[in-house]
Amino acid sequence: MKLALWVAVRNRPHLAVTDEELVETFRTLQPNVHVPSNDTIGRDIKLILELSIPAVKDFLRNHVGVLHAMLDGWTSPNVLSMVGLIIQLVDDENELKSFLLDMIPLNVAHTGFNLAKALAATFKEYDIEKRVLSIVGDNASNNGTMMENLVEILPSSAQLNLATRIGCTAHMLNLVVKACFRLYSAAHPSDDVPQSVLSPFTAPKGSKSHPDEDEDEFDAEDDAELLQAQEDVDEAVEQSDAAQVAEIESEMDELLNARDLDIFVDDDERKLAQDAFRKMCPQITCVLDADLVEIAVSLKFDNAEKKRMIRAVLTRWNTITDVITRGLELQPALDRLCLTSTGRASIRSLLLSNEEWQVMSQLRDVLQPFKVATERLSTNKYPDAGCNPCHS
């Protein structure tokens, strides 16, 4: 049981108990020790869960105040779909407590009604139907439908109501950032066509990363990892975000018209930003860490041995901010590396012009406050109505 507790509490994989070095360490301490198999560890964890549920129910039943729930969808590597349910409360010592109450399997369509049924069943299992005051989740439309159905399903004496649904403020900030990036799109896409936040800055499949690129130099098609990342974008999430971004744009247009203002990015500015980012992204996979570190050391960068380019992760908030910030930090080293690159593996075509670096610097200055705000909202050290710890 102790090993199962260690695996569960420290988020270790079940297979960790089969590591030869770990087993050898156990046998050094006790030559005749029997190390359970990973299957046994899995069964023990399920048993621990079953034994702990009554204690969790008692804890929640004895809590004097209200409870707050936080939701986030999650899909495992073997494509098991679940909804994580986190409970947050303030205890008798006035300390904020947060814990994962359940991972609710959801083997049906993620409609608002199905989410409401699954959540109501879990509330009933733990006898907290009347104790939950608010629910925090992202701003997807099915969460709104879920709340409407949940209010209907729960007892009339339940405290939860439509007014106590709290959208994730960090997600709202992310939508504003996406709306800003839409300024760099050649045309505003249809709501029926999901567009990744990186869409304005990634070259279409089959195109070169730069129109003047020599055939022997880097081709955008060679970055298979980036292309695969584009394929892996969750279309349902992107469609939901696109619809909300469209609402933000509409509200922005109304505000600008009311104040007789306008935000306009002309074709030259749009192309400059697109070219700059399309060059910077391939640098991440083409630049060898060892070569970059060598140049960074020669240029006397602080902590030069640890400098690496950062890959854009399409599903991670602030990903473009991180890529641009690190690129600007390494600008002298990247420029030198591109200029001294020769042969078929040359990345000279990925060299950013002074104007392109200037655009990246301006974008970084615009995006940085959103990253700071998102990180502050994503803390789990104090209560915050707009915070969703699932995204911390």
Residues 271, 336 share a domain: yes
In-domain check, residue 93: yes
Note whether 151 and 259 are same-domain residues. no
Q: Please report, as a single letter, which amino acid is at residue 33.
A: V
Is residue 149 domain-shared with residue 184, that is, in the same domain?
no
Sheet holding 81-90, edge to edge: 96-105, 81-90, 67-75, 132-137, 165-167
Domain residues for 24? 1-59
Question: Does 79 share its domain with 55?
Answer: no
Same domain, 29 and 142: no
- Report yes or no on 284 lying in a domain: yes
How confident is the model at residue 77, as a pLDDT? 64
Burial (0-12, 13-18, 19+ Cβ within 10 Å), 386: middle
Q: Are residues 151 and 176 in the same domain?
A: no
Predicted pLDDT at 256? 67
Among the candidates 12, 42, 59, a domain finishes at: 59
75/3 same-domain check: no
d(C-alpha 390, C-alpha 240), whole Å: 19
Distance CA 273, CA 226 (A): 19
| Residue 155 and residue 218 in one domain | no
d(CA 341, CA 217): 10
How far apart (Å, rounded) are the C-alpha atoms in residues 185 and 274? 9
Decide if 78 is inside a domain: yes
User: What would the two tokens of residue 53 be?
Assistant: 């549920």
In a domain, 385, yes or no: no
- What's the domain count of the chain? 3
| pLDDT at residue 120, as a whole number | 94
Residue 388 falls inside a structural domain: no
Residue where a domain terminates, one of 152, 167, 182: 167
Burial of 168 (0-12, 13-18, 19+ CB in 10 A): buried
Residues 260 and 360 in one domain: yes
What pLDDT does residue 279 have? Answer: 80
HEC-encoded secondary structure of the chain:
CHHHHHHHHCCCCHHHHHCHHHHHHHHHHCCCCCCCCHHHHHHHHHHHHHHHHHHHHHHHHHCCCCEEEEEEEEECCCCCEEEEEEEEEECCCCCEEEEEEEEEECCCCCCHHHHHHHHHHHHHHCCCCCCEEEEEECCCHHHHHHHHHHHHHCCCCCCCCHHHEEECHHHHHHHHHHHHHHHHCCCCCCCCCCCCCCHHHCCCCCCCCCCCCCCCCCCHHHCHHHHHHHHCCCHHHHHHHHHHHHHHHHHHHHHHHHCCCCCCCCHHHHHHHHHHHHHHHHHHHHCCHHHHHHHHHHCCCCCHHHCCCCCCCCCCCCHHHHHHHHHHHCHHHHHHHHHCCCCCCCCHHHCCCHHHHHHHHHHHHHHHHHHHHHHHHCCCCCCCCCCCHHHC
**Residue where a domain stops, chosen among 167, 197, 214:** 167
In a domain, 382, yes or no: no
What the block records as the tokens of 301 is 């960068």
Both tokens of residue 307? 């400098």
Same domain, 177 and 312: yes
Q: What burial letters (b/e) apply to 107-141, b meaning 16+ CB within 10 Å?
A: eeebebbbbbbbbbebbeebebbebbebbbbbbbe
Task: Provide φ and ψ at 13, rounded to 5°.
Answer: -70, 150
One domain for residues 95 and 83 = yes
**Per-residue pLDDT of the chain in tens (392 residues, 90 and over written 9):** 889 999 988 888 888 989 999 999 999 998 898 889 999 999 999 999 899 999 999 999 999 899 999 988 776 666 678 889 999 999 888 888 888 999 898 888 778 899 999 999 999 999 999 999 999 887 777 888 899 999 999 998 899 998 888 888 888 888 888 877 777 665 444 444 344 545 555 444 444 444 344 434 444 444 444 444 444 455 656 677 777 777 777 777 777 677 776 666 677 877 888 888 778 776 565 666 677 778 888 888 887 777 777 777 766 778 888 888 988 988 898 888 888 877 656 778 888 899 999 988 998 998 999 999 988 877 655 555 444 444 43
191 and 175 fall within a common domain: yes
Residue 41 maps to a domain: yes
Q: For the beta carbon of residue 222, count every other beta carbon within 10 angstroms.
A: 13
Give the CA count within 13 Å in the CB-facing half-sphere of 192.
0
Q: Which CATH number characterizes residue 144's domain?
A: 3.30.420
Residue recorded with tokens 């499949």: 205
Considering the domain boundaries, does residue 383 fall inside one? no
